[in-house]
Amino acid sequence: MKSLYVKFVLSTIGIMVISGILAFLLSNAYYQQKLKPYNDQKNTTIALKIADYANEHPEIDLEEYLDNISGIGYQLLLVGNSGNDTFFGSTFNDPSLPETVREHVLNGKIYHGILQFPRKTFVTGFFANEVENSIGVPLTHDGNKYALFLRPDIKLLFNEMHYLFGWLLVLTILLSILFVIFGTKYLVKPISTLTKATKSLSKGQFNVEGIDLNRSDELGVLSRSFSQMTRKLEQMEDMRREFISNISHDIQSPLSNIKGYTGLLESESIKPEDKKEYIAIINGEINRLSSLTKQLLLLASLDRNEEMMKVQSFNVGKQLKELIRNYQWKVNERGIMIGYSLPDTEFKGDPALLLTVWENLLTNAIKYNKPNGSIDITMEKKEHTLSVLFEDTGIGMNSGETERIFDRFYRVDTARSRSIEGSGLGLSIVSTIVSLHGGQITVKSKERDGTAFIVELPLPPV
């Protein structure tokens, strides 16, 4: 399998070759359509001027005159009526010329050899050093008729340019290949680094190094996105380990209690009142396991998002008031004052899931409150959202705890709440349900000074 580096180099060189071929074909088309007729016309004008001068000055030595003309960059062939051919200037590579062409020019016609030269030679026809690739004009001198064939002496005029363009082409190709080889290595290096980091990540090594996060191009964006993904995966791995640890503890602890008290019940000498107490403890542990199982099943269903939401219109204010009435005994038992402002408000959502949200927030406000504390529940219908506030005067949380309060199995500091039982799943379920409704939940808290949870749910456009 070829590496990305090799593929990039080969594809770039391939593009250069294809581009060169296409450029040659386009240049040839331009030469054939534009430059070739212009070149033919230009040399025809020069040949006619030379012939006119010879016609108008019969006293000059024709051969000496043409020899001087050849010295300034032209190849000439003078054909007489007797069939004698005289060449001036550099030798033609192919001096042959059809007899019909000779007769054509001797009869007073102009021969456009440059324009009529075969197209199959492409633009290279410009350099074909042949008599056929020339301009032929009739010439009369001292009463004698001649045919004069002329073409530019390319070797004399452009010899140095041949070498210059030759070296320019060779150096351009070589330097382009070198720049492609080294430039590609620079471009591919960050991808190679990301590949190594990905392999390390697949082995569970989240501390990847060598990634350039300071680039301002697409690779920099990719590197930063990869780094963010790595941190998220590391957090998820920590949460997974914490989940396994917590779920193992939360299941093992009640099972151990059940097993222990079941063993005590086997004793024949157990007192009836002790037996009753042990059975009550066992039932409590069973209820605890049942509650934990239900929460885990609900959380799993919410994670899979199996279209479990049953959206309908219902009165949120009435739902919250009914919930408060159901928990009034527990509030009175703790000596907590509860106040609320809950106007009748219609909302479209899943009433069962939202009841789970309100119940979790209310039980937390009761559970973590101080004796003789207070709870305020308010609901406000805004322009685009429905805002519900649960505020208590409980033990509160520090900033580190508020950042993790919605993590699964996270519990506040046990030193401040060691007598409070819980699975650590309630607020994670709350957050997931609110997200499913397209809303958000935020928390504001100060240690030993209470906590406020704000749920904001989007309202449908009017």
pLDDT of residue 142: 86
For the cut 90, the answer to whether the pLDDT of residue 150 exceeds it is yes
pLDDT of residue 88: 93
Read off the pLDDT band of 229 (50, 70, 90): confident
Lowest mean pLDDT of 10-24, 266-280, 283-297, name the range: 283-297
Mean of pLDDT values over 15-43: 85
Of residues 428 and 50, more confidently modeled: 50
Mean of pLDDT values over 356-372: 90
Asked if residues 310 and 350 have their Cβ atoms less than 8 Å apart, the reply is yes
* C-alpha to C-alpha distances, 383 to 212, 380, 389, 430, nearest whole angstrom: 45, 10, 17, 24
**What domains can be seen in the chain, in order of their start residue?**
4-160 (3.30.450), 239-302 (1.10.287.130), 309-458 (3.30.565.10)
Lowest mean pLDDT of 170-179, 365-374, 385-394, name the range: 170-179
Instruction: Tell me how far apart the alpha carbons of residues 202 and 212 are, in angstroms, rounded to a whole number.
Output: 20
Read off the pLDDT band of 417 (50, 70, 90): very low
Instruction: Tell me how far apart the alpha carbons of residues 375 and 391 are, in angstroms, rounded to a whole number.
Output: 6
Instruction: Tell me how far apart the alpha carbons of residues 225 and 376 are, in angstroms, rounded to a whole number.
Output: 42
Asked if residues 218 and 225 have their Cβ atoms less than 8 Å apart, the reply is no
pLDDT of residue 416: 41
Sign of the dihedral through C-alpha 41, 42, 47, 53: positive
Task: Please provide the average confidence, as pLDDT, over all residues in the chain.
Answer: 82
Mean of pLDDT values over 126-140: 88
- For tokens 């939360």, what's the residue? 250
What's the pLDDT tens digit per position in 66-110?
999 988 889 999 998 777 889 998 888 888 888 899 999 999 999
For the cut 90, the answer to whether the pLDDT of residue 391 exceeds it is yes
Residue type present at position 292: L
